[in-house]
Amino acid sequence: MEDKVNFSETVEFLRSVIRRKTGFLRELEEYAKLHHIPIIQPESAALMRVLVKLHKPEKILEAGTAIGYSACILSDAMDGSGIIDTIEIDEDMAEMAKRNIKAMGYDKTIRVILGDALEVMECLSSSYDMIFLDAAKGQYNEYLKHALRLLRPGGLLVSDNVLYKGLVAQKDKVQHKHRTIAVKLREYIENICSDERLETSIIPVGDGMAISFKKGD
């Protein structure tokens, strides 16, 4: 008989072995927890770091800055080199992110852009080695069109929260208030998995992370 895996025990174990952040990054984690700001989960952050080390991006675009935590994680993994453009719609959040990024010493490499991710992406034209989607989950399908245009061949598209607390897989059982997002994320997963230009893997890490490689290099 197949053993049923207890996923929360697995997550608890993983969090106990992942190297804990120290210093200011740890303070940012505690601030986010206290103020209910959804930042990237520890196991997802660890995966992002490995992706950066393997892929060695010089230019990253992030949609959804919040307090700047993931941008700092990415910059740290890039050893403080390269450029990260990160888009945030909330003015207070963007200001806080700028302060945090400066305190981390990454203000020369991370540029916080205040605005709606879709509108900003529509205006961008330079090419990125890696794009990290972590803004409005209901708009991932719209971001995709621009992400594909802005990502260089051989680039990586990383999308967080794609399994949305497991609700995306539940289909008809999802409560009304979550249904629209769950349906849109399901559609998004179907899109990135069927798109001939991408090679995609969905990893049930954190809230679900999709890693898509743009072919052509």
Which residues of this protein are in contact with ligand SAM, per CB under 6 A? 38-40, 63-64, 66, 69-70, 87-90, 93, 116-117, 134-136
Q: How far apart are CA 39 and CA 206, in angstroms?
A: 11
H or E element: which one contains 158?
A: strand 151-160
Kindly state the smallest distance separating residue 2's Cβ from ligand SAM, in Å: 34
Q: How far apart are CA 196 and CA 94, in angstroms?
A: 35
Kindly state the smallest distance separating residue 70's Cβ from ligand SAM, in Å: 3
Kindly state the smallest distance separating residue 28's Cβ from ligand SAM, in Å: 8
Residue 87 vs 198, nearer CB to ligand SAM? 87
Kindly state the smallest distance separating residue 188's Cβ from ligand SAM, in Å: 15
Residue 64 vs 155, nearer CB to ligand SAM? 64
H or E element: which one contains 53?
A: helix 42-55
Residue 46 vs 172, nearer CB to ligand SAM? 46
Q: How far apart are CA 33 and CA 60, in angstroms?
A: 26
3-class SS at 99?
helix
